[in-house]
Amino acid sequence: MSILNKFRGKSLWMLHYCTGCGAIEMPPVMTSRYDMERFGIIPMATPRQADILLITGYLAVKTLKRVIRTYEQMHSPKWVVGFGACTVNGGMYWDSYATIKKLELYLPVDLYIAGCMPRPEAIMDAFIELRKGISSGKYEGWKKYIENYDWYKKNQAKLFDVKKWSVNYE
C-alpha cells in the first residue's frame, strides 16, 4: 500500500468546483505564473477521472447537492480540499440563509486552506503539503466517508432530502 501511495502523490488530477469568488486565484496557479504542473497536479474536467476535489469557497445548499453528487462519482482514492474561509466556518456569509457553514459536516475534508481568498502561494503550499501527505498515507478522508456514511448522510439530510435529489433546472 505504501508504495502505491508514494506514486499516487506524484500524479494528481484535480477537479476544481469553482463556486465562490476565490476561484479567481486558480487561473494564475494553473497557468505559467505559478504553474502547478511542476508539482504533478493538473486540472481535470470530469469527476470520474479526478483525484482531488477542490472546493473554492461558499456552497449554497443547492450547490452542495451537486458537490456531493460529484464527490460520490469520483473513484477512490480521492481527496477533498476546502479552499477559503467560507468552507471553514461560513466566512463572510456566516449569517446567510443560503450557504452552508462547515463543509466538514457534509464531506470529509482532508485539508483546509485558510484565507479570504487564499493567495496562489498558499494554494501551492497546500498542494505540496497534500502531495507529501498522500505519499505518506496520512490523508484518508475517503475511507472515513465510507466508514461513517450514515453520519454524513444524516448531516446532509438535515438540509435537503437526500433520497429525492430534487433538481430543478427550469
Partner 1 sequence: MSDFITRLKNITGLNIHKEKLYQASLKVDKEKIRKTLLDLKKEGFLQFTTLTCIDWIEEKTFQLVYHLWHREEKLHLKVKIDIDRDAPIVETVSDIYIVAQTYEREVKEMFGVDFKGNKRLIPFILEDWNEIPPMRRDFNTREYVKDMYETEDRTEEIFKPRWKKYD
Contacts to partner 1 by CB under 8 A: 61-62, 65, 82, 89-90, 94-98, 100-102, 104-105, 108-112, 114, 125-126, 129, 133, 138-139, 141, 144, 148, 151-152, 158-161, 166-168, 170
Smallest separation, CB 98 to partner 1 (Å): 8
d(CA 40, CA 124): 12
Residues that bind ligand SF4 (CB under 6 A): 20-22, 57-58, 84-86, 91-92, 116-117
**CB closer to ligand SF4, 84 vs 108:** 84
Smallest distance from the beta carbon of 97 to partner 1, in angstroms?
A: 5
Question: What does 129 bind: partner 1, ligand SF4, none (CB cut-off 5 to 8 Å by kind)?
Answer: partner 1
Residue 5 or 110 having the CB closest to ligand SF4:
110
Alpha helices (H) along the chain:
2-8, 26-30, 61-73, 85-89, 120-135, 141-147, 149-159
Q: What residue type is 94 in one-letter code?
A: W
Which triple of cell numbers denotes residue 35? 504553474
Minimum CB distance to partner 1, residue 81 (Å): 9
Cell of 8: 499516487
Q: Given CA atoms 33, 19, 104, 9 in this order, what sign does their dihedral have?
A: negative
H/E stretch holding 93: none
Cα distance between residue 13 and residue 42, in whole Å: 5
Question: Which CB atom, from 74 or from 86, has the smaller least distance to ligand SF4?
Answer: 86
